[in-house]
Amino acid sequence: MSDKLLSQAEIEALMSSLAAEPEEPAAATAPDAHRHAVPSRPVKLYDFRRPDKFSKEHLRALRIIHESFARSLASALASYLRSTIQIRLTMVEQATYDEYIRSLPTPTVMYVIAPHPLPGSAVIEMNLPVGRVILDRLLGGSGSPQSATAEMTEIEMALLKTVGGLLVSHLRDAWSNVTALEPTLQEPTLSPEFVQVTLPTETTVMLVFEISLFGTTGTLSLCIPHPVLQPVMESLTSQVWSAGAPGAEAQEPALTRPERLNPVALPITVELGTVELSVRELLGLTEGQIIKLDTPSNGNLAVRVGQHVKFNARPGLAGRNLAVQIVGTRG
């Protein structure tokens, strides 16, 4: 029993070690305290049964491509509808096709696109209020939204297909830096649940645009399944970003005003003169009768550019063809 007793020196060494032990946990917790001081990042759930198929680089390239699509489409629709229109890309996300379809309102305008030479099909969706405003404008209205209960007529569906052709045309132009698309468009439908272009569990990229026109704001969305983009995934790189970035347009040579006007076609007509006839006199005209115009035989003729009189001219011949010679300007 005596060999198990501690000496005084051993007791003092043990007591000194016990007194130093509380400091060690404090030192050990210092890194933990520092770690908790940093704001924690939000945790994103990852489903290993449905892995991500688009990298951040792919999504960034797709964002830049379709920001260009939004700008060109807004400009084209503004000219087409003769009004100011704003289109802005608000979201680029991965989702299953079933999630995309369930996120859509019913009814809504659905376009199925076959983006040849890429395989499969993609979908463009346009909110029904936006579609009705466009239809009202195309049919001669002011662009005010119509009743949501009214059904679409055959004429309205035909006009919606024309609008879909405009969407597809600018989508093709936006993708020109990646691949030469020759997309074809099917007849539009108003029932998203009947549009099945891929498996419900297939991963897709979903792009949502906000569109504002004639005081109405709605959304335009595009859904592209992964198998459609798989052949060009390697092309969705920084090379596309530099080619499609907004600053790239500034590097192109600026066109002068004459160069911009050269492709513009305007009708030019020459007005020989005018005369007033009653309906009875007009119906009584026969072959060989002479109608006296209000223009003197040696007077100037009005030359119209579009609907506006811009020049004075004299009639004559150029070889065997009738012609006029510009002798002055008007206005």
Q: How far is CA 183 from CA 88, 121, 170, 281, in A?
A: 23, 9, 11, 56
Torsion, CA 222, CA 133, CA 164, CA 68, rounded to 10: -50
Question: What tokens does 26 get?
Answer: 């404090």
Q: Which of the listed CATH numbers 3.40.50.1000, 3.40.50.460, 3.40.1550.10, 3.40.50.720 matches domain 56-249?
A: 3.40.1550.10
Q: Could you tell me which of 195, 262, 182 has the C-alpha nearest to residue 225?
A: 195
- Fold category of 264-278+296-331 in CATH: Surface presentation of antigens (SPOA) (2.30.330)
The whole-number pLDDT of residue 66 equals 93
167 alpha-carbon distance from chain centroid: 7
The whole-number pLDDT of residue 247 equals 45
Cβ partners under 8 Å of residue 155, min gap 6: none
Cα(276)–Cα(274) distance, integer angstroms = 7
Total count of residues recorded for the chain: 331
Sort strands 268-271 and 203-213 into parallel, antiparallel or unpaired.
unpaired
φ and ψ at 4, to 5 degrees? -95, -5
Cα(180)–Cα(105) distance, integer angstroms = 32
The single-letter code of the amino acid at 46 is Y
Give tens-digit pLDDT for 164-173: 999 999 999 9
* pLDDT band (50, 70, 90) for residue 323: confident
Does 25 have pLDDT greater than 60? Answer: no
Full-model pTM: 0.59
Q: Could you tell me which of 192, 195, 172, 191 has the C-alpha nearest to residue 182?
A: 172
The whole-number pLDDT of residue 149 equals 55
Does 109 have pLDDT greater than 70? Answer: yes
DSSP state of 195: -
More confident residue, 289 or 25: 289
The whole-number pLDDT of residue 95 equals 92
Worst-scoring range by mean pLDDT, 30-44, 153-167, 269-283?
Answer: 30-44
The whole-number pLDDT of residue 88 equals 94
C-alpha angle 246/250/253, rounded to 5°?
A: 140
* pLDDT band (50, 70, 90) for residue 229: very high
Domain extents for the chain? 56-249, 264-278+296-331
